[in-house]
Amino acid sequence: MSKWLTASAAIAIVALPMLAAHADPYDGRWVIDFPPAAANPSINAGPGCPAMRIVANVKDSQISGNLRRERNSPMEVTDSAGPYATPLTGAVASDGSLTATWQSYTIAGKLAGDSGQVSLTGECGPRTGNAVRIKPQDQP
């Protein structure tokens, strides 16, 4: 019995670091901030679009999240799990390239380490934003 326990412990000591090494380098919670956009009469008739913050989760190279438009300001987006939220979906390649969609928005960019640059194309035309991985202690 003790040989079996010793063998099991040895396997566990070798296997656990290997399992941790397989974690995706981009896993985590990410915040992407886009600046406001000026009105573009060919795209929207409104006064412009406010700054936008997209919160997304990356796990095993898959991007996910739930976002909803604010009822009183439909151009504002909120991270939400509520009944009016719609899914954000996408993927991150091994080189950090990402693509995602949410409603009529297309998101593409590149992550490196804990940051990245991301473009957003949608109702307000193209915008470029910055992505930052939120450290666990900074998460709400």
pTM above 0.85, yes or no: no
pLDDT value of position 14: 45
Higher pLDDT, 106 or 39: 106
For the segment 22-47, what is each residue's pLDDT rounded down to a tens digit? Answer: 568 999 999 999 998 876 666 555 56
Q: Residue 18 phi/psi, 5° resolution?
A: -70, -40
Q: Domain residues of the chain, as ranges?
A: 23-138
Task: Give the number of other CB atoms < 10 A from CB of residue 116.
Answer: 21
Q: Residue 32 phi/psi, 5° resolution?
A: -120, 120
Q: Domain 23-138: which topology?
A: Porin (2.40.160)
Radius of gyration over every alpha carbon of the chain, rounded to an integer in angstroms:
20
